[in-house]
Copies of this chain bind each other. A is one copy, B any other.
């Protein structure tokens, strides 16, 4: 299949020029490059502009509640580990409403890939500050500018032990497609924070703003050096690094639980389960624990 074959015919509800288009394209390229069968791919999303993406991609889709993509993805992956599960979510969805799942999904380390469309704003609800909004950015609610310390999601993910931490830029589609591919191929929880200009509500972090700041990490960068990577993960301002910021080998949830070694749960035959063993414990001759 070619990248274009992963497109659906649904009308796209994003603003023309929105950074989300680049992400959709990159995802299509990545899926094509990996020659994944749409039937074996599951896209899980929450709610927000970002979260509409699965409707535009040929793959299975669960478009759930605002903030709750990660637990849905976890449940689905555990039920059928053969599914290639990707989560597409926003900075509000993933780091705001869904912050607790973000923490614990990293700790759980299922083999899933999470793309955060990070436009540093709440797009769908028309422009309130998100956890990544730059300090001082004025909105209708943050009338004196955003006051809370902005979140460095990549650094936080590292502090939580994430094994694959990357940043992409929706304008650099090819690079992003590579990152997505690397994330999917990584065994474990892969986080890709994607700089995604919102042309309607983020008047600060524009294409131009990002263009002036981003640079791509090259081969000389050692993504395996944790201390160095942690500094990189926090780099934000005049220079913003793109690429795999940190990567380490890790044991996945599937491996630790033994799921990896067995048939997917969904393939188990449940038609006539013999409950002899637990029933024995109820009987007179039960062994006491």
Question: Chain A: residues with CB nearer than 8 A to chain B?
Answer: 95-100, 103-104, 106-109, 131, 144, 147-152, 155-156, 158-161, 227, 230-231, 234, 253, 256-257
Contact = CB atoms under 8 A, between A and B. Distances in A.
A186 to B, nearest CB: 15
A251 to B, nearest CB: 9
A149 B131 contact: no
Given A227-B227, A227-B231, A231-B227, A155 B159 contact: yes
A159 B161 contact: no
Contacts of A109: 148-149
Q: Is the interface of A mostly helix, strand, loop or mixed?
A: helix
A26 B176 CA distance: 52
Contacts of A151: 103, 107, 160
B108 A257 contact: no
Contact of A256 (B103, B147, B150, B253): B147
A152 B159 contact: yes
Q: A108, A149, A230, A231 — which one has the most chain B CB atoms within 10 A of its CB? A: A149
Nearest to A108: B148
A107 B160 contact: no
Contacts of A108: 148-149
Contacts of A149: 106-109, 160-161
A140 to B, nearest CB: 11
Given A104-B148, A156-B159, 20 more contacts: A96-B104, A97-B100, A98-B100, A99-B100, A99-B103, A100-B103, A103-B131, A104-B131, A107-B148, A107-B149, A107-B150, A108-B148, A108-B149, A147-B253, A147-B256, A149-B160, A149-B161, A151-B160, A156-B160, A227-B231
Contacts of A95: 103
A198 B104 CA distance: 23
A230 B230 CA distance: 10
A185 to B, nearest CB: 21
